[in-house]
Amino acid sequence: MASLILVGITWNYWVALACRALGGALNRNIGAIQTMVSELIGRPEHEPRAYAIIPFVWSIGTIIGPTIQGLLAKPTEGYSSLFPADGLFG
């Protein structure tokens, strides 16, 4: 989180790149995902296939997540019938 905040407030491309690299180096999501997969897979012969799917699912998530975020940005402007301007999201 600190890495992303630094990227957001940085003044220089190279500093932003270094902060992003630091965030990637300190990322522990892959270890947690591998642990979760090993605990959820009941049969050991299915583990290699499950581990092979992880990069695919990760890539799809990095595409779909920002897409959903973009669609839901400023909901009072994009979906004014569902989110009134004087409501919580206004």
pLDDT tens, 30-71?
Answer: 788 888 888 888 888 888 888 888 888 888 988 998 999 888
Q: And the tokens for 17?
A: 């790149």
Whether residue 26 sits in one domain with residue 45: no
82 inside domain: no
Give me the count of residues in the chain: 90
24 inside domain: yes
Treating both helix axes as pointing N-terminal to C-terminal, what angle do 13-25 and 2-9 enclose, rounded to 10 degrees?
Answer: 170
8 A C-beta contact, residue 19 and residue 10? yes
pLDDT tens column, 9-40? 988 899 989 988 888 888 877 788 888 888 88
84 inside domain: no
> How many structural domains is the chain composed of?
2
Question: What is the value of pTM for the model shown?
Answer: 0.52
Parent domain of 53: 41-77
**What are the Cα distances from residue 18, in Å, to 8, 9, 25?**
12, 13, 10
36 inside domain: no
